[in-house]
């Protein structure tokens, strides 16, 4: 890869990759469930709905059919009010969806309104709206808009897939965002294990000034928005806006194609999955249906753990009777296995090498175990960004991230 900056040069742990950038389509057949995110419903049971129609503010329907119920269902972490739609499998779209628009002609408030109506969100577990994030910032203050496609966690590759297969959408989404923050530079972060995605992105940004690509080490967490900003600038604390590749593509589709965020790429992988792969799937599709599209569970394997999201940052779920949501980048299923017992620290230093905040996790754990909050704060424990990488690489299975995170919350 030419003309790319390599950031954060350090030792890399092994990363397990799952597939190539050709996603499969998981076309929803069963009932669809849409968590309403505490917004008031705009439909009632018995109503006919279409693809792209608002079910509540920021929540669009991804199929056509009839609203079957408004009831509480699990969203993977808790019971919330959901619209349940009987999918007629015709996928008829609402009027105006897909209408082309020259976003360069739109005002700042028009762009923000389109992003709000499209219901774009990032990976935040609470599905915090992109429009609210963008509106809360003073355009004068923002010096960098970052599309974070570094995707360092094992198994997951949906961001890489979006960068490669939606490169035009991601780059143009970034251009739309730069129109909202005219003084900012645009940066797209891509893991070094995704050279083809980088090629597609470089092709898409050709001849456009103000956007660059930075390559990150595979398997290395970059940490919080603030830490990423510091890495890119070489130290300063400039204000950055960070979006995911799916979010950037959603911004483009909202501004240029009048299309809401109603489908996304999801990685289905893990040691228990028969045919791991990336799938384009409609939001609201049941995870059971998505797993079926990946061939189900490997024969003879019992599932020990199912996770929505990354292996380290995701949420464990006890049932797959939960819907794919806009922030679901992965569905991971792991085979039941005997846990390797925790053992003494062998002082290998791997936890310190991988920590994106430059901390000494083994010393922080010692302070946490002793309940020594003074030492914990001297070691800058409050700067932990909860990435989980230290626990992931520890050969002695020390409970670093959990204890550090717990003590950090006690000490603030």
Site residues for ligand SF4 per CB under 6 A: 345-351, 354-357, 359, 361-362, 384-390, 393-396, 398, 400-401, 404
| Closer CB to ligand SF4, 307 or 401, in the complex | 401
Using CA atoms, how far residue 212 sits from 27, 190, 284, 347, in Å, is 35, 11, 35, 39
Instruction: Measure the CA–CA gap between 57 and 39, rounded to whole angstroms.
Output: 6
| Closer CB to ligand SF4, 294 or 368, in the complex | 368
Instruction: Measure the CA–CA gap between 194 and 64, rounded to whole angstroms.
Output: 36
Which helix (H) or strand (E) is 190 found in, with range? strand 185-191
Residue 406 CB, nearest approach to ligand SF4 (Å): 11
| Closer CB to ligand SF4, 41 or 191, in the complex | 191
Which helix (H) or strand (E) is 149 found in, with range? strand 142-149
Residue 141 CB, nearest approach to ligand SF4 (Å): 26
Strand 263-269 to 211-216 pairing? unpaired
Residue 303 CB, nearest approach to ligand SF4 (Å): 26
Residue 348 CB, nearest approach to ligand SF4 (Å): 4
CB contact at 8 A, 253 and 44 = no
Residues in CB range of 105: below 8 A, 6 or more apart: none
Query: Taking the CA of residue 116 as centre, how many other CA atoms within 13 Å lie in the half-sphere pointing to its CB?
Result: 13
| Closer CB to ligand SF4, 145 or 240, in the complex | 240
| Closer CB to ligand SF4, 87 or 224, in the complex | 224
Instruction: State the Cα angle at 332 between 330 and 336, rounded to 5°.
Output: 170
CB contact at 8 A, 250 and 176 = no
Residue 402 CB, nearest approach to ligand SF4 (Å): 9
Instruction: Measure the CA–CA gap between 113 and 375, rounded to whole angstroms.
Output: 48
| Closer CB to ligand SF4, 45 or 395, in the complex | 395
Residue 61 CB, nearest approach to ligand SF4 (Å): 38
What are the tokens at 275? 């045919």
Residue 381 CB, nearest approach to ligand SF4 (Å): 8
**Helix, strand, or coil (residue 257):** helix
| Closer CB to ligand SF4, 268 or 393, in the complex | 393
């Amino acid at each position: 890869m030419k003309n790319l900056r390599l950031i954060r040069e350090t030792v890399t742990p092994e990363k397990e990759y799952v597939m190539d950038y050709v996603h499969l389509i998981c076309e929803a057949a069963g009932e669809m469930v849409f968590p309403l995110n505490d917004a008031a419903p705009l439909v009632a049971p018995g109503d006919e709905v279409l693809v792209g129609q608002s079910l509540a503010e920021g929540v669009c329907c991804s199929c056509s059919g009839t609203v079957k119920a408004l009831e509480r269902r699990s969203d993977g972490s808790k019971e919330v009010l959901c619209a349940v739609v009987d999918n007629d499998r015709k996928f008829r779209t609402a009027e105006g969806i897909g209408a082309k628009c020259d976003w360069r002609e739109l005002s700042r408030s028009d762009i923000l309104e389109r992003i709000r109506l499209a219901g774009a969100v990032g990976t935040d577990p609470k599905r915090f709206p992109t429009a609210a994030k963008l509106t809360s910032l003073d355009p004068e203050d923002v010096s960098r808009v970052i599309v974070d496609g570094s995707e360092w966690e094992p198994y997951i590759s949906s961001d890489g897939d979006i960068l490669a297969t939606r490169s035009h959408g991601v780059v143009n989404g970034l251009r739309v965002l730069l129109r909202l923050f005219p003084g900012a530079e645009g940066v797209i972060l891509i893991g070094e294990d995704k050279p083809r995605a980088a090629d597609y992105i470089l092709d898409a940004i050709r001849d456009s000034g103000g956007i660059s690509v930075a390559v990150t080490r595979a398997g290395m967490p970059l940490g919080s928005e603030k830490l990423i900003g510091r890495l890119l600038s070489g130290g300063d604390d400039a204000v950055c806006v960070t979006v995911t590749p799916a979010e950037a593509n959603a911004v483009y589709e909202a501004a240029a194609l009048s299309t809401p965020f109603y489908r996304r790429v999801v990685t289905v992988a893990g040691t228990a999955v028969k045919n791991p792969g990336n799938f384009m799937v409609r939001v609201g599709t049941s995870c059971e249906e998505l797993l079926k599209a990946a061939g189900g569970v490997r024969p003879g394997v019992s599932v020990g753990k199912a996770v929505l999201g990354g292996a380290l940052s995701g949420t464990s779920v006890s049932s797959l009777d939960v819907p794919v949501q806009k922030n679901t980048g992965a569905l991971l299923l792991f085979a039941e296995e005997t846990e390797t017992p925790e053992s003494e620290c062998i002082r290998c230093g791997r936890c310190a090498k991988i920590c994106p905040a430059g901390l000494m996790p083994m010393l922080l754990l010692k302070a946490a175990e002793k309940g020594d909050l003074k030492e914990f704060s001297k070691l800058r424990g409050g700067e932990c960004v909860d990435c989980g990488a230290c626990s992931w690489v520890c050969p002695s299975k020390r409970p670093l991230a959990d204890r550090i995170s717990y003590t950090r919350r006690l000490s603030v």
